[in-house]
Structure 1
Amino acid sequence: MDASARHLRLLTETIAAVNSSLDLQEVLELVASKVADALGTDACFVYLYDERADELVLRATRGSRVEEMTRTPRMRPGEGITGVAAAERTPVMIPEQAHLDPRFKLFTNLPEDEYQSILAVPILAREKLEGALNVRTREPRVFTDAEIELLVAIASQVAQTIEHAKLYERAQRRVAELEALARISEAVSESLYLEESLEAIVRTTMESLHATGAALVLEDGKIAWPEGQAGAYAVRLPLRWKRRQIGELVCDRDTPFSEDDKALLEAIAHHAAVALEHGRAVMRGVLAQEIHHRVKNNLQSVASLLRVQARADTVDPRKALQESVNRILAIAAVHEVLTEHREDDVDLGELVERLQAMLVQ
């Protein structure tokens, strides 16, 4: 098979490989393997461009394994021979002693200095940098124009695959985020108990962010619902309701949080604030209904006692009136204490003290 036919077959196989999966890592490993085999090189290195960090990150190799490295090689565009190809948007070929070139960048955990030649090309998607790849040989080699054009064509196809894979990952992530928020909304709307809503929020946060721990901290510093354990990285987001901070959402994990992760946490924090105020409003409504019911019953009791006393001939009117006043004051004291406290618990000692003070007066 002549070189042209072999190059055409390589390009066809590469296109088929990159279109066979939306798993970006799998595609990159296939590209590294097929390019090295078809061009007869000893190694192939595929870098992806991290726009936020402005770095080229090694993601796939033929000849060494990325996951076995103690530290993943990174370089900025313009650093190293591959970085120069990326920065200048053009192929760079050195036929021999590439490690002596002044542009060469040495990585202590990469055996690059054992190779003689290098051909590096940028991975561009409509002039946007997506990464770079290079092929290496241990013996000196001058890559032909046809081989350079072939590698550029492969890099162009890889660039399209990277874009598609990124779009797919973003779509999958967005679906997961919407599902998480839907579960939280469902828990908040269906549950009448604040504890159940807070538990659902914390657990959904841990599942969605792959967190080691999460908790909701109320405005008084009380931890409403802790789950899991602390991690190497932590994010604290305020829970705000009508411009007032009513607590915090805390999330821990062992890997850094991306901007997308923080955006999801902000949405969860908003739902948590709504759930917290919704739960408190429900409790206040239940409490108000209970108070109204008890006040009505107590007033009916007072009215009944007054009727009984009115029928008696030996009752001192002044004493009867004072006892009725004390009963009404006692009802008012209970009502006051219950309406002053937003928590579920009421201090019985405080209530008794108020009743004693009223009776003394």
Structure 2
Amino acid sequence: SISSTLELETVLKQIVEVVVEVTKGDACLLYLISETTDELILRASKNPHPRLIGRISIGLGEGITGWVAREKIPVVIPRNASDDARFKFFHRLPEDRYQAFVSVPITSKGKMVGVINVQHKRSKRYAEETIALLLTIANQVGGAIANARLYDDMRQKARRLETLSQVSETVASNRLIEDVLQLIVTMTAQLMNSKICSIMLVDQASGELRIAATQSLSDAYRRKPPLKVGQSMSGRAVQDHHPVYVSDVKEEDGYFYRDLAKQEGLHSLLSIPMLMKENPIGVINVYTSSYHAFSDEEVTTLQAIANQSAVAIEHTRLMEKSFEMQEALEVRKLVERAKGFLMASRGLSEPEAFRLMQRQSMNLRKSMREIADAIILAEELQRATQ
């Protein structure tokens, strides 16, 4: 039944169930080798709590589990497992409460895939048949895990391409820039299974990064004060024109809001600069709720999204400047026309007519356009009654 599905999480869950049934273990933990780092990540278990899935990482050679992964040799300890010289205590894993411990490597075509740990609360002399069966299971499921991972990778690539296409359509649409940025962070968060995704833009006047869009419902995150460019992780990404990755923001000294990260359950962070012709205009932040080592493909995809976002923002700014220039030209024409009426009707020189309009603008707290419109309207009404 394990080989009958390509859903990775289902495969891992089925493996744990089979191992527990065969060994009658009190706990079973399944670790997989990360595809981006030399670490083992807890991916499935029967005990401890499911919330630890994805949050526990072990380096190769670290503890009994890391030793088994590095040496590709099983370890069987019938009693006092925590007394083993290779044992390492993890404060979130209650491994020291178990007396008996079996750890076997999972391989596929000679390549290390992961490790299965079986634990018993009381001392237990494992029969040779049980260990042999456990090794057989580990060898057989390696291929199923590899196939499920391949399927998962292909599905992720399809999702990335679909998201990039959707972002392109959004950027090319006639939506307001605020709506465009909001859609981008929402789509990015869905793609990356992100706890929080945000876009921060550079305020050129103050040199600060301010949150422009986020899909997070957290008021605490939305109210985060601005950051100076160069400060914190996001500011570094903008300053260095290069992505910045933090494996755990709660433990990172350079991360300013560690208390907020703990409150919101944030773990890993990737900050991608938004560049327009090498000019940084902002940053996209992607936070995960558990440890996540971003792959090269994920970084490339996020950089593409960041660049398209930068294009959308720059296009909007150019449109606004063009509108402002057209508006300024229109106002100048109206002012010139109004000055002409004042010069003709009151015998004023051009500077005198302009100063009169300026005084009226200041005294009445009206714009020069409003003053000019009023003068032109009055002149036209006077002509109409003559």
TM normalised by structure 2 equals 0.60
Structure 1 CA distance for aligned equivalents of residues 150 and 53 of structure 2: 30
Q: Alignment partner of 1:259: what SS?
A: coil
Q: Is residue 108 of structure 2 the alignment partner of residue 125 of structure 1?
A: yes
Q: Alignment partner of 1:268: what SS?
A: helix
Match of 1:28 among 6, 12, 18: 12
1:215 is matched with which residue? Answer: 199
Structure 1 CA distance for aligned equivalents of residues 326 and 54 of structure 2: 63
2:134 is matched with which residue? Answer: 151
2:237 is matched with which residue? Answer: none
Deviation of residue 154 (structure 1)? 1.5
Structure 2 CA distance for aligned equivalents of residues 96 and 257 of structure 1: 34
RMSD value over aligned CA atoms? 4.6
Q: Alignment partner of 2:19: what SS?
A: helix
Q: In 2, are the aligned partners of 1:181 and 1:268 still within 8 Å (CA)?
A: yes
1:281 is matched with which residue? Answer: 318
Unaligned runs of 5+ in 2: 222-259, 356-365, 372-386
Structure 2 CA distance for aligned equivalents of residues 171 and 214 of structure 1: 26
Match of 2:279 among 227, 235, 244: 244
After superposition, the Cα gap between the structure-2 partners of 1:349 and 1:243, relative to the gap in structure 1 and judged at 3 Å, is: farther
Structure 2 CA distance for aligned equivalents of residues 72 and 247 of structure 1: 30
Deviation of residue 286 (structure 1)? 4.9
Amino acid at match of 2:15: V
Deviation of residue 89 (structure 1)? 1.2
Deviation of residue 191 (structure 1)? 1.0
Of structures 1 and 2, the one scoring higher in RCO (CA 8 A, sep 6+) is 2
Structure 2 CA distance for aligned equivalents of residues 226 and 66 of structure 1: 34
Decide which moves more: 250-259 or 171-180.
250-259
1:225 is matched with which residue? Answer: 212
- Percent identity of equivalent pairs: 28
Q: Is residue 54 of structure 2 the alignment partner of residue 19 of structure 1?
A: no
Equivalent residues, number: 305
Deviation of residue 240 (structure 1)? 1.9
Q: In 1, are the aligned partners of 2:30 and 2:117 still within 8 Å (CA)?
A: yes
Structure 2 CA distance for aligned equivalents of residues 172 and 70 of structure 1: 21
2:257 is matched with which residue? Answer: none
Structure 2 CA distance for aligned equivalents of residues 72 and 257 of structure 1: 9
Q: In 1, are the aligned partners of 2:103 and 2:117 still within 8 Å (CA)?
A: yes
Decide which moves more: 69-78 or 204-213.
69-78
Amino acid at match of 1:239: M
Q: Is residue 111 of structure 2 the alignment partner of residue 76 of structure 1?
A: no
Structure 2 CA distance for aligned equivalents of residues 194 and 68 of structure 1: 38
TM normalised by structure 1 equals 0.63
Q: In 1, are the aligned partners of 2:27 and 2:48 still within 8 Å (CA)?
A: no
Deviation of residue 107 (structure 1)? 5.1
Larger Rg: 1
Unaligned runs of 5+ in 1: 1-15, 310-318, 331-346, 353-361
